[in-house]
Structure 1
Amino acid sequence: MFGTLRTLLAINVVLLHIFSIPTLGNYSVSFFFLLSGFLMTLIIHETYGYSFIGFRVFWLNRILRLYPIYLSILFITIVLVFIFPEIVLRHSSIKIPDTIIEWFANLTMIFPNVVPHRFNPRLVPTAWALTNELLFYLLISFGISKTLKRTLIWLVLSIAYYIGTYIFYDIATYRYSAVFASSLPFAMGAVLYWIVKFNPIKKVPLASILLVYLIFILNAHFKYTYTDLLKEISIYINMLVAFILIYLLYHIKISNKWKKWDQYIGMYSYPIYLSHYLVAILYVAFINFGVHKNNFKMHYVALPFYGLFLFIFCFLIVRYIDINVNKLKTKVKKTL
């Protein structure tokens, strides 16, 4: 069920960026990091291993997973910058790079800033989070979560970083989008791998999963009604809820038919996450119904129409890029 979860989280980010629904999208990004920490540790241990060949195949498959879709969206965005410059100007980050460093950052998704989303231009604005992801993929492939002891040390250091931000530099950005802010959810995900390994459970009712996801939504929804202290605590409640939900989802039993559907639904998560601003440009250019002036924000009445645009675009990405890339990834994995 991780595929469905990933796509729901990507939709939450769209609701934040396009429809101004606060917090849920931010918490979904942290959720993504925790899920990545778990899954990357899992597949390194269970599939790729720590040999040179395993390292090479792991990274070849990561590159195939991330870059064909990203570069396609990047190229289309560049075209739209020239076709609809007055619309593109509504987003401060979407510009043609001027320098070699800017081009390198936009082509690789490695944005050279401690807080990657502060780097401009970003032709694909949401790609900043992939800078964080790539760093921790690298650390995991090098063995930061190879043993339980290493993983726990990583977790302790991550907690120390968060404590340090309150003492020395109390700015929320350094607990959300800064590169090292991602360390805590990634480390929690890696710890979860060891909990799953030593403490599996046999039966998980679907109702329990729905309940935990509801708590995740409610915690995000009510954050702005909390006191300042509770607002901070809600960040860690979110991570704990994500931790529990991933643990439960890993153990749920579903039929092979639903597994295939879950895999297919999951294929939409990455294109949705990367392309929703690009699709907003197209929507404003051709429909423009329910759009606020001078930005990409939309009223709720635009949701079904914009949602249809987004689905069609992502369907084409999945159909003509992702499915073919997955076949190639399977062949690469067989070389292990």
Structure 2
Amino acid sequence: MLGTVRFILAALVVLNHLWLPTANKVGAHAVTAFYMISGYLMTKVLHDVYGFSLRGAARYLANRALRIYPIYWFCLFTTLILIVAYGDAFRPYSLVAVPDIKQLFQNVTLVDLGSSEVILVPPAWSLTVEFAFYIAMVAGLSRHRYVSIAWFGASVIYTAWLIASGVPFGQRYYPIVAASLFFSIGALVYWYQESLHWLRLPPLAFWPLLLLFCFSPMLLESVGLDRLMVGFYLPILLFVGLVVTATQSSETQHDRWLGDMAYPIFLLHFLCAGIIKLLLPGLQPLGGAFLAISFLLTLALSVALVRLQSMTIEPVRSRMRRWVG
């Protein structure tokens, strides 16, 4: 079930970027939900598969790099070729431009990508955040229950300080440290998943509540609450129950396939939108037809890349998991 949730979150990010009625309204809390899932999954695989030895940590980080970079680099260099060749006719987003040497280094490596004025794969700034916590979790944040509790406590204090200081939303969302709260919650779900069984939702309630989570920022805004404050933090409480339910449910082949699709969909939709803009210049950007055609192309390309990765990269990753120990 967790794979299906990840797929829906990726689709939510697409809606946030490519459809006017939901533009910039339903993406931020979806990204933080991805962070929570990563906090849970990375803590789980570190304890269940890799461990915290130098050898285990090295294989864990190498495995994550093999999961992240191949599809990302395909998207990156395809975007670079198209922006060089077609310029504004292709440009799907303002940050997509021809980079200088430093910006190209940041884009290729994901090192401090959020500070770059050019981001060829716009959602990829969050991968810099993900990698920072992959390292921090194997370095110790996920090693012991009480360390994770202290991590969560420090994150709550820091988040409260950000809110009390009245900083702009961007400072509560984009920096690496701002994501600490969400990763730490995911880690705590791992440590306390058995005692959190009372949060498990019945099947008939799970899907309606997941739908409620998806559009909760817009719903809260519609009743006069701040979408970037209440609509950003309050959905966390609902998503904890959704994560607990998803992690305590058995994984099916269908669910795993949808989970595999989530990452390429998350990365590729701007590239595909630019291609549709190039091929169908008369189509209204951010309209329903533009969204539908762009999403269909994103799905088709994602299927192809997942298939290619399963034949080439996944066997290497599987061997890495078996070699630990």
Please report the TM-score for the alignment, with normalisation by the length of structure 1: 0.89
Structure-2 residue corresponding to 1:44: 46
Return the offset for 1:133.
0.6
Structure-1 residue corresponding to 2:276: 283
Check if 1:119 corresponds to 2:120: no
Select 1:179's aligned residue among 161, 176, 181.
176
Structure-2 residue corresponding to 1:260: 253
Return the offset for 1:31.
0.4
Structure 2 counterpart of 1:278, one-letter code: L
Distance 1:198 1:51 in 2: 28
Structure-2 residue corresponding to 1:86: 88
Structure-2 residue corresponding to 1:304: 292
Select 2:78's aligned residue among 76, 99, 103.
76
Q: How does 1:99-110 map to 2 (within 5 A)?
A: 99=101, 101-110=102-111
Q: How does 1:220-299 map to 2 (within 5 A)?
A: 220-228=217-225, 232-253=229-250, 259-288=252-281, 290-292=283-285, 298-299=286-287
Query: Identity of paired residues, percent?
Result: 26
Structure-2 residue corresponding to 1:2: 2
Return the offset for 1:69.
0.7
Check if 1:16 corresponds to 2:16: yes
Structure 2 counterpart of 1:285, one-letter code: L
Distance 2:311 2:282 in 1: 32
Q: Which moved more, 1:196-205 or 1:222-231?
A: 196-205
Q: 1:54 to 1:291 in 2, by over 3 A?
A: same
Q: Which moved more, 1:238-247 or 1:162-171?
A: 162-171
- Residues 6, 259 of structure 2: 8 Å contact kept: yes
Structure-1 residue corresponding to 2:37: 35
Q: Which moved more, 1:219-228 or 1:272-281?
A: 219-228
- Residues 91, 274 of structure 2: 8 Å contact kept: no
Distance 1:144 1:318 in 2: 31
Distance 1:90 1:284 in 2: 8
Structure-1 residue corresponding to 2:317: 329
Return the offset for 1:107.
0.7
SS of 2:112's partner is coil
Return the offset for 1:201.
6.9
Return the offset for 1:77.
0.9
Check if 1:192 corresponds to 2:189: yes
Return the offset for 1:223.
2.8
Deviations 1:196-221 (Å, cap 9, x if unpaired)?
15555798632232132133034223
Q: 1:203 to 1:18 in 2, by over 3 A?
A: closer
Question: Unpaired segments of 5 or more residues in structure 1?
Answer: 293-297
Please report the TM-score for the alignment, with normalisation by the length of structure 2: 0.92
Distance 2:209 2:162 in 1: 29
Distance 1:300 1:108 in 2: 35
Return the offset for 1:12.
0.5
Distance 1:127 1:46 in 2: 28
Structure 1 counterpart of 2:11, one-letter code: I
Question: Unpaired segments of 5 or more residues in structure 2?
Answer: none
Structure 2 counterpart of 1:44, one-letter code: L
Structure-2 residue corresponding to 1:97: 99
Distance 2:189 2:162 in 1: 24
Q: 1:86 to 1:303 in 2, by over 3 A?
A: closer
Distance 1:210 1:93 in 2: 35
- Residues 148, 184 of structure 2: 8 Å contact kept: yes
SS of 2:141's partner is coil
Distance 1:319 1:311 in 2: 12
Q: 1:15 to 1:229 in 2, by over 3 A?
A: closer
SS of 1:146's partner is coil
Structure-1 residue corresponding to 2:206: 209
SS of 1:95's partner is coil
Distance 1:106 1:34 in 2: 24
Structure 1 counterpart of 2:96, one-letter code: I
Structure-2 residue corresponding to 1:316: 304
